[in-house]
Amino acid sequence: EYLKTLNKNYADKYIWRIIMEDKLQVSDVFQAKKRIKDYVKVTPLVRAENLEKLFDGAEIWLKLENMQYTGAFKLRGVSNKMLTTQKEELQKGVTAASSGNHAQAVSYMAQQLGVKATIVMPENAPKAKIKGAKGYGAEVVFAGFTGQDRDEKCAELIKEHGYCLVHSHMDPAVIIGHGTVAIEALEQMDGDMDELIVPCGAGSLASGASFAIKGVNPDIKVTAVEPKEVPLFTEALKANKALTVKMGQTIADGLRISKAEEINFEMIRDNVDKVVAVDEKSIEEALKLVGLKEKILAEPSACVGIAALLENKIDTSKGRRICIVITGGNVDASLYAQLI
Ligand SMILES: *Cc1c(COP(=O)(O)O)cnc(C)c1O
């Protein structure tokens, strides 16, 4: 009901507080994991022996969400959101503003459930992304060039058609769904993990993964990694509030988000031990290493965790068991060729 009354902003700033207040529990992540199991893949967790040789004896494990359906972890949160939305609501159709992996996940999940998806993209969206969403049967509409243009278009569509919004990062159902990747990796490591490292853009993965991990074992360190060019949560934590940063140029297109939302800020502040910012050069080096040493096709955004290791920002001492989420593998072929 609330979503139907949106105007300019997607969500009232305080609604989530009501939802969150003592109501989100780690058991919600386990329930989500059960709920979405027919729609998401249990992705492989592999030990990166070749990468390990570059460091001081820590075990490095990679959780391969690049092998997830649609090529990124985003399906976890999206499927949880859509499976917790009432059928009558879903039947009206869903909408999302995204030109990236979130768009693919929403389109894919809508197709799986037999509902209509309308994706709002910028007028200059890459052809491959438009094709990707259309390939899963979604309708693509274009709205200006800024995030605000897209938000307004989304709100218009919701008002006009009653579509259900699947927001990429400020929805507790999405955040909890993303948390399943952490629980799954922890299970695959038989509960024996010293540190979890996740990339961080808008911070919904970091929110959900850290919430899940700390809920199971508060001794496990959680580190979120962002590009130095978009140091959103580094700055937000410094200022102790959700804020907007000036965005530089980063190759990690999934992490180009300049505005922190409160829900993600507060969850990261409360559950993430450390936010690390990495250079562009290390991201490129990490992509090469993952591709050529580990034979894993990862997109730039997925490589920031390994970039943090390369910059000596992670304790890699002997015996530590580190898990890094390789978040996606959707990268333009010519860009990938150029980087490799
Ligand atoms: C969305 C995305 C991220 C960042 O996730 P946030 O929840 O926005 O922080 C990282 N890597 C890939 C591949 C993504 O698609």
In whole numbers, what is the pLDDT of the chain averaged over residues? 92
Percent of the chain exceeding pLDDT 70 equals 94
- Lowest-pLDDT range of 11-20, 185-194, 203-212, 295-304: 11-20
Asked whether the predicted pLDDT for residue 14 surpasses 50, the reply is: no
User: How remote is the CA of residue 134 from the centroid of ligand 1, in Å?
Assistant: 21
Report residue 4's pLDDT band, with 50, 70 and 90 as the boundaries. Answer: very low
- Beta strands (DSSP E) in the chain are 45-47, 59-64, 94-97, 117-121, 139-142, 164-165, 195-199, 221-227, 274-278, 321-326
Cα 255 to ligand 1 centre (Å) = 6
Strand pairing class (94-97; 59-64) = unpaired
Q: What is the pLDDT of residue 145?
A: 85
Q: Tokens for 335?
A: 């860009």
| pLDDT at position 138 over 50 | yes
Of 70, 327, 331, 336, the one to substitute when testing ligand 1's pocket (max ligand atoms within 8 A of C-beta) is 327
Sheet order of strands, 195-199 included: 45-47, 59-64, 321-326, 195-199, 221-227, 274-278
Query: Which amino acid makes up residue 38?
Result: D
**Better-scored residue on pLDDT, 279 or 159:** 279
Residue 185: half-sphere exposure toward Cβ, Cα within 13 Å: 33
* DSSP assignments along 31-74, one per residue: HHHHHTTTTS----EEE-HHHHTTTTB-EEEEEEGGGSGGGBTT
Smallest CA separation from ligand 1 atom 2, residue: 254
- Residue 143: partners with Cβ closer than 8 Å, 6 or more residues away: 97, 120, 121, 122, 123, 149, 150, 152, 153
**Does residue 8 surpass a pLDDT of 70?**
no
Q: Which of 132-141, 151-160, 304-313 has the lowest mean pLDDT?
A: 151-160
Ligand 1, CB within 6 Å, residue ranges: 72, 74, 100-101, 169, 199-206, 254-255, 299, 301-302, 327-328
Closest Cα to atom 4 of ligand 1: 201
Q: Which residues pair with 328 in a beta bridge?
A: 72
User: From the CA of 294, how far away is ligand 1's center (Å)?
Assistant: 21
Cα-to-centroid distance, 86 and ligand 1 (Å): 26
- 327 Cα to the center of ligand 1, angstroms: 7
Percentage of the residues of the chain whose pLDDT score is greater than 90 = 84
What is the distance between the alpha carbons of residues 66 and 34, in angstroms, rounded to a whole number?
21
User: Quick check: 21 pLDDT over 70?
Assistant: no
Q: What is the pTM of this model?
A: 0.94
Ligand 1 closest atom vs CA 65: 13
Tens-digit pLDDT profile for residues 43-53: 999 999 999 99
Task: Determine how many CB atoms are found less than 10 A away from the CB of residue 310.
Answer: 20
CA–CA dist 86, 223 (Å, integer)? 35
Per the DSSP assignment, residues forming a β-bridge with 197 are 223, 324
Q: Which of 255, 257, 290 to mutate to test the pocket of ligand 1 (most atoms within 8 A of CB)?
A: 255
The total number of residues shown for the chain amounts to 340
Q: Please report, as a single letter, which amino acid is at residue 35.
A: R
Give the ligand 1 atom nearest the CA of 329: 13
Question: Does position 13 have pLDDT exceeding 80, yes or no?
Answer: no
Task: Give the mutation target among 69, 74, 258 for probing the ligand 1 site: most ligand atoms within 8 A of CB.
Answer: 74
91: confidence class by pLDDT, cuts 50, 70, 90? very high
Supply angle C-alpha 258, 65, 237, rounded to 5: 30
Q: What distance in Å separates the CA atoms of residue 154 and residue 163, rounded to the nearest whole number?
A: 9
Residue 5 has pLDDT above 80, yes or no: no
For atom 14 of ligand 1, which residue has the closest CA?
254
The whole-number pLDDT of residue 266 equals: 93
Which atom, in ligand 1's list, is nearest to the CA of 201? 9
- Yes or no: say if 226 and 303 are a contact pair by the CB < 8 Å rule: no
pLDDT-derived band of residue 218, with 50, 70 and 90 as boundaries? very high
Report the distance separating Cα 205 and Cα 208, nearest Å: 5
The reported pLDDT for the residue numbered 18 is 52
pLDDT of amino acid 219: 95
Pairing of strands 59-64, 45-47: antiparallel
Mutate to test the pocket of ligand 1, among 65, 80, 101, 106 (most ligand atoms within 8 A of CB): 101
Encode pLDDT of 228-265 as tens digits. Answer: 999 999 999 999 999 999 999 999 999 999 999 999 99
pLDDT at 127 (0 to 100): 81
